Homo-oligomer: A and B are copies of this chain.
């Protein structure tokens, strides 16, 4: 991947590898059932940054010049990881009753829950179909374990809805399950396909996990602070559904603000005025600053995991991506 530019600009640039992932994805998903094809076209046409396939490719370059990964294997594994991500988004939109994602209508908004459930299952099945062709790298096991854990994270989130006593540790355990595990797995499978040594695979997995935590925290911050138009979805959507995120955990640690907002959250009455008050509290209590500080610490740990890896150009890109995670606006 000699064409790499260091730093975060890489994410907005169209790599030839990512264009190939796009083609592969469309070819694999092609269905003879017209309605399925229509849903698939909608889902695969929404764009997105393809962060996870990029991680797969980048992490496939740490095993030395003699261990370049098989191009078909790394392409298929990168495609499968994106399929798993897409499937989880489709099912999350059912769970959250979301009407828009990335500024476009969700599949459940357009076709209803029944079609969305099946479209998500189809994406999962197609992901495994791709992975099994390259199972000598152990990728099916990593993927299946990751999906099971993601489901547990989402169920845990439902269980913890409107819980004003959610702890910092509980939040992190959920972020691990919901988000960090898939980023960690993306890094690990990339390394695995290149047959990198176990220590290299471990370090890249740590990088992915810490990036995942930071990504989730910034997501939580954006949900409460960003502009509706930039975000492509309503402000405070998480809290409206009772999802208590890190900024809110910190806000509730402030006694004065806790007295004001905890009863409203616990009463499951999170209306627009409540969101407005929470936003005020987040700023005044320092909860935003504290959350961002935690994200920054995670990124520092991600950087640390990179330190002992071979100094290939891809390491600089991974390092630059940490900046992107902290500064992204949607």
Contact = CB atoms under 8 A, between A and B. Distances in A.
Interface of A: 31-36, 39, 91, 94-96, 113-115, 117-122, 124-126, 128-129, 131-133, 135, 140-141, 143-145, 147-148, 150-152, 154-156, 158-159
Q: How often does this chain occur in the complex, in copies?
A: 2
Contacts of A91: 117-118, 121
A126 B119 CA distance: 19
B32 A152 contact: yes
Nearest to A97: B114
A35 B129 contact: no
B129 A132 contact: no
A154 B117 CA distance: 10
A91 B159 CA distance: 20
Contacts of A148: 122, 125-126, 129
A143 B114 CA distance: 22
Contact of A158 (B35, B124, B126): B35
Contact of A152 (B31, B133, B150): B31
A152 B36 contact: yes
A126 B144 contact: yes
B114 A152 contact: no
B119 A151 contact: yes
A178 to B, nearest CB: 11
B125 A151 contact: yes
